[in-house]
Chains A and B, each alone.
Chain A
């Protein structure tokens, strides 16, 4: 245990995701010992993060205005909506530069253990966006794990009644990898989801 502020800072860093006690200690001492480290800049950014960054009123992505840059972009195809769990997923899909539609961030996945049901997700907002008939396809891109799959099933049932195409991202082998290195579960899933190349 260190005295006062140092220990408090270490504890505070340790509360952040992905940072264990050792890393927390290393960061705290780095800040303490590196004279060139600009503490006020870090403090400013943290305060601004809270004050200025919001979630987009339309899609739930991070934004510095009321709506995010993607929702404001007129070049985006308004007939396509890709539904993801987190804002981080938007960044991942944007990197592909393949998708030119709009997003909808749910803010998580259905998981009773974590106390998250449909009411805790931004599903009502999604239904509002679909109400005017502009959107023709909803692509569900939740994580390929149990909770993501459950959320996808829930959404597809909910959207069944609307006249909108609902699609789900494929899952299977990673591209550029070696078949022999794929784990059994992934390879098994790829077998289930195999597609016909020629009859």
Chain B
């Protein structure tokens, strides 16, 4: 799939913008603060309904305007599609496909993209929550039904935590204990499904991430991904030793492959934590306390890898994700978006990255300095100056 045309209205620093895009590489060049990232961020929003930079939609609307519009003409094989979303300041957002109204949350069915930005270094270096967010986003892309399971799990978690807290303050009553069992059931049913689906995804992600890593780095550093599961007795949020989030999965850990297996470990883990859960008024076991351990040369990436290695690992995660979606998608390749990536890489890695992404139907790249980007990717270069698109 490719974006053949992007049109923005009152989005970030753009009053109005019109950009034609071509198959293959499209390069957006401009000095810092001119709006390169805003341009590609809008396409990321269209496919995920969220920005990689802010959690609230408000910042996406140009100062002084009431609503922002992102409109993209998409092409897959010979089919053209016009997808648009209107982000409103004080009313619900609206979305259209081919001028007929759809629910905004249905937009990702029509357009998929994978965006890599400097912020993604946080997936490797940040807290476990950053890794859970990364993996859950991909889980939902592969299986939209899981959005409901994840939302339900969060709600069960809040209900159960509230119950535990009130049990702590009033002393555990008989009726509270029976309702706790009910929430346990829901927690285990939904949580086990999340654990298994995530584990399967982590397994599927392994080979494409390893391939992408060695393609970019030019060396085999044996990158690995393995689930760190609280139901197996490791709590990523509170490791016994070391830095928060610096975890290695123990080699003898058995990762459950069926929901029934996961549910059995979940139940026994809950039983063993019951005392401290009641003491602290907090659910201490479940996918909300899981992590994914990234390894290079049998050492954890976090705390051991260099800046360059961490950066390459984060990039490989996104490229691997794109590769995975590409293999499973019926919409063709996801549009690959590389925001400000080349400046961080040395000459060798730049040209290797250029070669690695050459196969994608469309790649959108932003850079502050034209010379940072290998010449093979500069055939279609668009200049951005102060919220204006200058196609040359």
Which positions in A face B, CB cutoff 8 Å? 110-113, 115, 117-119, 146-147, 149-150, 153-154, 157, 184-185, 187-188
Contacts and interface: CB of A to CB of B under 8 A. Distances in A.
Contact of A113 (B144, B147, B158, B175): B158
B178 A118 contact: yes
B159 interface: yes
Q: Interface of chain B, helix or strand or loop or mixed?
A: helix
A150 B144 contact: no
B175 A184 contact: no
Interface of B: 144-145, 147-148, 152, 155-156, 158-160, 162-163, 166, 175-176, 178-179, 182-183, 185-186
B145 A118 contact: no
Contacts of A115: 166
A128 B179 CA distance: 20
Given A112-B166, A118-B175, A188 B148 contact: yes
A117 B163 CA distance: 9
A153 B185 contact: yes
Nearest to A151: B182
Contacts of A154: 178-179, 182
A188 B145 CA distance: 6
Most buried by A among B145, B155, B166, B176: B145
A154 B183 CA distance: 10
Contact of A185 (B147, B166, B176): B147
A112 B160 contact: yes
A67 B159 CA distance: 34
A146 B186 contact: yes
A150 B144 CA distance: 24
20 contacts: A112-B162, A112-B163, A112-B166, A112-B179, A112-B183, A117-B163, A117-B175, A117-B176, A117-B179, A118-B175, A118-B178, A146-B156, A149-B186, A153-B182, A153-B185, A153-B186, A154-B182, A184-B147, A185-B145, A188-B145
Given A112-B159, A112-B163, A113-B158, A185 B148 contact: yes
Given A157-B182, A184-B148, 18 more contacts: A110-B179, A112-B159, A112-B162, A112-B179, A113-B158, A113-B159, A113-B162, A117-B163, A118-B178, A146-B156, A146-B159, A146-B186, A149-B186, A150-B179, A153-B182, A154-B182, A188-B145, A188-B148
Contacts of A187: 145
Nearest to A118: B175
B145 A184 contact: yes
A119 B170 CA distance: 14
Contacts of B147: 184-185
A112 B178 CA distance: 13
A149 B182 CA distance: 10
A163 B312 CA distance: 64
Contacts of A110: 179, 182
**Closest 7 A-B residue pairs measured CB to CB?**
A185-B148, A188-B145, A112-B163, A112-B162, A184-B144, A184-B145, A118-B175
A173 to B, nearest CB: 14
Most buried by B among A110, A118, A184: A184
Contacts of B183: 112, 150
Contacts of B175: 117-119
Nearest to B155: A146
A59 B145 CA distance: 37
Contacts of A188: 145, 148
B210 to A, nearest CB: 31
B259 to A, nearest CB: 12
Contacts of B166: 112, 115
